[in-house]
Structure 1
Amino acid sequence: MQNRILPVAKHQTDPKGEMLVFGEENQGGFFWSLLWTLDGPDADPIVWFRAYDEPPIAEQEPLSGFLIQFSLYEAAMGADYVALSRQLTGQQVDRLTERLPPVPLRPFWRGTSTRFYVAPGLVLHVSDGGGENGFSAWAGATHRGALAPLADIPIE
C-alpha cells in the first residue's frame, strides 16, 4: 500500500495541534488532515495536505471527493497489472485517455494536477508535472486484459 487512511483509533493531531490527521504517506513524509474543532468536522469538510515542515494546502475536493480520488490512486498503485509511462506530451495524453471516461472531480495532488480515467477493471491516473513533456501516466488493472484499451496506442 502506497498511502493509508488511518483507523479512527489511530487518528491524532498534527504537530501544532490544529489538525486531526486521518491519512498518511507510507514513508511518513506527508499527511492529510481535517481542521480540529471542538464541534467536530463539517458534514463534508475541507481536506488539508501537509508535508511535515510546510504549511497546509487545501485539497481541491472536500472529504467525499478526496476519498474517491484516494481510493482510485491506491487501486492503480497497488494493482497486480500496471503500465507506466513518463515524459508524455499533451497529444499523447489525449490519445491515451480518449476512450476512457474521466472521473468528474477536480485534480488530485495539487502540485501535480492528477486526473483519473476509468474502465471496467482499470484505473488510469495522469499527472501534469509541467513543461512540454511533463505528463506521466500510471494504469493499474485487476487483470491484464483490462489494459487492452491502451495496447494499440503508440506510447512507450
Structure 2
Amino acid sequence: MTRTLRSLITEAAALSVAGAGVIRYEMGTALIGTGTDATAVIVEPGDNPGVSGVQDAIKVLLRGDAVAALHPRFQFRAPLPIHLFARLDQGCLPLGTALCRGGSSTPDRFNHAVLELDRPLAREILDAVRPVPAPGPVPTVDWVDQVDTDPIGALESFVLGWFSADETEPIQEGSDETGELGNLPDALTAFRRLANLRPRIRDFYNPILTKPRRTSGPLGARLVFARDGEGTRDWFIPWPPAGPGAAEPRVWLTEDPGSTDEETILEEEPLSRFLLQFTLYETMNAAPYHARTYCMPTRRLDPLWDALCPVPLSPFMPTYEADRFFVAPGMLATVSSDENEAVVTFAALHRGTLIPLLKHGFRWFSFDG
C-alpha cells in the first residue's frame, strides 16, 4: 500500500515545516516539533483507539505524559498552524493541517489533545496509516432465537458472548439494600449475576444500578433500578410488585425525577425484555467502533436485510428515536425509520467488521472503519 503513496518525505523534512529553531518533544508515541512558523506532529501508524495516532478520517489523538511547553501550541485558536504526518516504512506521509478541538486545560496537565483535520483523509491514505486488521473472534447471534421464549436467557447469552471476562471484585450479596427490599424480580437478579461475571456492564454511561433505590412518586412506591448519566431520567418498577404482573413487572420511565415537572411514561416492554433492550443500547454506546449514516430513503436499507438479523423487541424509547435493534456476528445496529426515511447506526467489536458496509455506498455522518 505504501508504495503507491508518492508524497513520502523524511522525518527531518517533516519537522522542517515548523520553521527555524525546532524543538523536539514526545507525547506517547508521537513526535512533535515546534518552531517559529508552525507545529509539526508525526504519529505512528496503527489501529489504536484511544492512544496517540489516527482515529478516523478526520480525528487524530495525542496522548502521553504531560508536556507543559506544548500547551500554547494546542489551543482552539492557536496562532501557529499544526501540520500532521504519519510515519510509514519508507518515510513520513503528510496528512494535512489540523485544528485542536480539545485537550487539557492547564499547562501542567497537558497530556492529550484531540486534533481535527481540515480535510478528511482519502480512503487510500486512511488504510495506509491505520491498516484494517482482520476481525478477531466474534460472538454468534444465536441468542436472538431465545428472546421471545426466554428473554433473561437471551440477555445472559448476549452479555457473556459480547463482553470478555474481567478480573474484579464481585458484588457482595448483602452489600446493598437487597435485604431490605426483599426478593428482587428474576430479571434484576440475573443482571446482578451477570455484573459479577462481566463487570464492564456495570460501567455503562447510563447504568443499571447495583443498589436499586426505593422512592415514591405520583404512581406510588417504586424501585428505581436504572438512570441516565446526567440524572435527567430514571427507570422504575412499582414496589413491591403485586398482582398478576409481580413476576414480570412493567417498567416506567421518569422524566426530571424529583422535580415539580416530573413525568412518567410506560415502557413498551416488561422488565426482562426491557433489560435486554437497555443492555443492547448501552453496549452500542460503549462499543469501540461505530458508524452512522445520514438520513436516507428507507428503500436504501434493502441490501442490509441479508446481513442483519432483527431482534424481536419493540422500538426502544419510542417517545424519542424509537430505534429497532438488529444484529450480525460482532455487530449491533439500530434503525430509526418511517415509510420514507431512515437512519442506521452500527457498533462493532472489530473495525474490520464495519468495512463491508462501504460497498453499500451510504453517505456517512461518521465511520470508524
CA deviation vs aligned residue, 1:9-64 (integer Å, no higher than 9, x gap): 24232555532111111111111110123759721111111212343111111111
Give me the whole-angstrom Cα distance separating, in 2, the residues matched to 1:73 and 1:97: 20
* Same amino acid, percent of matched pairs: 38
Match of 1:125 among 311, 327, 334: 334
Give yes or no for the alignment of 1:12 onto 2:214: yes
2:353 corresponds to? 146
Query: Which stretch has the larger CA shift, 16-25 or 88-97?
Result: 88-97
Task: Give the 3-state SS of the residue equivalent to 1:18 in structure 2.
Answer: strand
Shift of 1:150: 2.1
- Higher-strand-fraction structure: 1
2:67 corresponds to? none
Is the contact made by 2:241 and 2:249 (CA closer than 8 Å) also made in structure 1?
no
Tell me: CA distance 1:136–1:50, structure 2 relative to 1, closer, same or farther (3 Å): farther
1:25 corresponds to? 228
2:322 corresponds to? 113
1:49 corresponds to? 253
Larger radius of gyration: 2
Tell me: CA distance 1:12–1:150, structure 2 relative to 1, closer, same or farther (3 Å): farther
Query: Which stretch has the larger CA shift, 41-50 or 64-73?
Result: 41-50
Match of 2:300 among 78, 92, 97: 92
Shift of 1:115: 0.5
Is the contact made by 1:99 and 1:149 (CA closer than 8 Å) also made in structure 2?
no
Task: Give the 3-state SS of the residue equivalent to 1:65 in structure 2.
Answer: helix
Task: Give the 3-state SS of the residue equivalent to 1:3 in structure 2.
Answer: coil
Tell me: CA distance 1:72–1:37, structure 2 relative to 1, closer, same or farther (3 Å): same
2:287 corresponds to? 79
Structure 1: which 5+ runs fail to align? none
Give me the whole-angstrom Cα distance separating, in 2, the residues matched to 1:54 and 1:136: 30
How many residues of Structure 1 are paired with residues of Structure 2 in the alignment? 153
Tell me: CA distance 1:125–1:38, structure 2 relative to 1, closer, same or farther (3 Å): closer
Is the contact made by 1:45 and 1:63 (CA closer than 8 Å) also made in structure 2?
yes
* Aligned alpha-carbon RMSD (Å): 2.4
Give me the whole-angstrom Cα distance separating, in 1, the residues matched to 2:216 and 2:328: 37
Give me the whole-angstrom Cα distance separating, in 2, the residues matched to 1:93 and 1:59: 27
Structure 2: which 5+ runs fail to align? 1-203, 364-369
Q: TM-score, normalised by structure 2?
A: 0.38
Query: Which stretch has the larger CA shift, 116-125 or 97-106?
Result: 97-106
Give me the whole-angstrom Cα distance separating, in 2, the residues matched to 1:56 and 1:32: 9
Q: TM-score, normalised by structure 1?
A: 0.84
By relative contact order (CA 8 Å, sep 6+), the higher-ranking structure is: 1
Give yes or no for the alignment of 1:35 onto 2:238: yes
